[in-house]
Structure 1
Amino acid sequence: MSVKSAERVLRVFELLSQKPHGLTIKEISETLSFPQSSTSGLIGTLFRAGYLSLDSANTYKLGPKLIQIGSAAMESLDISSQGYPFLKQLMEDVQETVFMAVLSDQDLVYIAKIDSNRSIRTSAQPGGQKPLYCTGLGKVFLAFMPEQNRHTILNAVELFPITKQTITDKQQLLEQLRIFWQLGYSIDDEENEEGLFCLAAPVYGADQTIQAAISVAGPKERMNKQKDYIVENLLLTAKKISASIGYLGA
């Protein structure tokens, strides 16, 4: 899709967000000064994809798919804002880089990063995406999500080697995930970035399912020297964030 087309899509969404009773194609075209022929094609595409709905009066309104996207965005923002004070305290306690991520389809998306004064360089940044199978945060989602979801994702993805340490055998990965589930946290041992060791834990929501993951990452040697201390603080922080967004579990 060209930039011009993308801008038109956004303008349609913004217009209809102000018109809860909907508009016809002609009204959309005239209001936005778009050619009616191209407006018809654009609206038809958005309707078929579920981004717009059509009523009996031939007026278009914002569709159900936007509700899902908006809900996911709001949830991510809520978790990030609720979790930030706890993540900052975790960083101050362990003096390593702290992350938070959420699940997006078959990838994780970073929504928060707090550097310490001795943070090492990493490619992970807020808004960035990474595979699930080779990151500590991603393996938390795989280990603590429902079994059917895990199998669906792993059956659809190829385990490419990102570093020499990346696990590329699915049975070996499944066995590791089983161990992580028992431990209550996951480990990324230089599997996504050489030299980077990561410990990650799940954050649960009010519906008792995993909503996000948090991690502590740093140089392997330095992380291993205080691994038990980091794990203790990581799990406590995950528990506090979970409670702050409505989780009532143990």
Structure 2
Amino acid sequence: MMEGHEENLLKKFGAIEKMLELLNAFTASPYTYSAKELSEKLGFTKPTVHRILNALEKENYVRRSFDGKYTIGYKAYQVGMIYANNTDLYMEIRKVIENIAGSTGEQVGYAVLEGTDALSIYESQMQDSRIRYVAGAVYPINSGCYGKVLMAFSHTEEELCEIVPKLELKQVSRGAIMDPQELLEEYRNIRKSGYGESADEYLDGTVGLGVPVFKQNGSLAGCISLGAIKSDRFCKLREQYLKELFKGAGQLKNVIW
């Protein structure tokens, strides 16, 4: 009897793990998938995928679009907003980010480090259609300002030298830094200058600036980053953009403990 009970529990745990794995698939671009695509992506049988999707759709964690593909439902958004509202004064972060976006006219966002992933907490409403950052999305630590700045200021030199060589660096774009030693040097340069920058790293044809946000106790809270299309205008306004970013970081430091 006990063996049968334990076997049933293991089956339930396995089913839960598969459901979570499928739900996690929607956090990666293009954020919408057909059942067939999910089956191929995850290596699950089609009946398993359909069974999980039906359960998630019933509870509004996923929804079906007009073309029959699935995407995140409103219940997942509700859970995410509960997380956001409990992440170091979300509304204050939102206000600061929108102020910077308004004064610069560029895409601005705020991200935190979760393990070795940069998690976007908030993205400004002002966005160029060619630069699409999504709140709740995870960004790599070897391309773009979010991941590089967060890693550079979250760990000591010794910790980074131990962590980085063990990581599986992802070639998300042509400009991604794939050599661990080169990435460590990039982190050193970021710490030395006090901010990070990127060009053609996460998205081709784009540039970015990122500054760390510290808590009042001196530990890292997150990163404010500005993204723009590569242009003469950006080069001309770069120093002003940095000034606005550091100003916003200072404002958040006053309210994040």
1:186-240 Cα offsets, whole Å, 9 max, x none, are: 0121111111211011111133111111111110114223111101111111111
1:2 partner letter:
A
2:244 is matched with 233
CA positional deviation for 1:73: 4.2
In structure 2, the residue corresponding to 1:244 is in which secondary structure?
A: coil
1:65-108 Cα offsets, whole Å, 9 max, x none, are: xxxxxxx9478533422211111110111000111111111101
Distance 1:169 1:5 in 2: 33
**8 Å Cα contact 1:101/1:108 also seen in 2:** yes
TM-score normalized with structure 1 length: 0.65
Cα 1:3/1:159, change in 2 over 3 Å: closer
User: Is residue 12 of structure 2 the alignment partner of residue 2 of structure 1?
Assistant: no
**8 Å Cα contact 1:106/1:153 also seen in 2:** no
In structure 2, the residue corresponding to 1:226 is in which secondary structure?
A: helix
Identical counterparts, % of pairs: 23
1:116-157 Cα offsets, whole Å, 9 max, x none, are: 2x6233343111111111120111112112224433431321
In structure 1, the residue corresponding to 2:100 is in which secondary structure?
A: helix
User: Is residue 88 of structure 2 the alignment partner of residue 78 of structure 1?
Assistant: yes
Cα 1:92/1:105, change in 2 over 3 Å: same
1:220 partner letter:
K
In structure 2, the residue corresponding to 1:154 is in which secondary structure?
A: helix
1:113 is matched with 123
TM-score normalized with structure 2 length: 0.63
Cα 1:76/1:166, change in 2 over 3 Å: farther
CA positional deviation for 1:3: 5.9
2:34 is matched with none
Cα 1:4/1:174, change in 2 over 3 Å: closer
CA positional deviation for 1:113: 0.4
1:134 is matched with 143
**8 Å Cα contact 1:98/1:214 also seen in 2:** yes
Query: How many aligned residue pairs are there?
Result: 181
Q: What RMSD, in angstroms, separates the aligned Cα atoms of the two structures?
A: 2.5
Cα 1:113/1:74, change in 2 over 3 Å: closer
In structure 2, the residue corresponding to 1:203 is in which secondary structure?
A: strand
More divergent stretch after superposition (77-86 vs 224-233): 77-86
Distance 1:4 1:150 in 2: 31
1:146-188 Cα offsets, whole Å, 9 max, x none, are: 2244334313212333222222122222222211112111012
Q: Which runs of 5+ in 2 are unaligned?
A: 1-13, 21-81
Q: Which runs of 5+ in 1 are unaligned?
A: 8-71
**8 Å Cα contact 2:148/2:187 also seen in 1:** yes
More divergent stretch after superposition (218-227 vs 98-107): 218-227
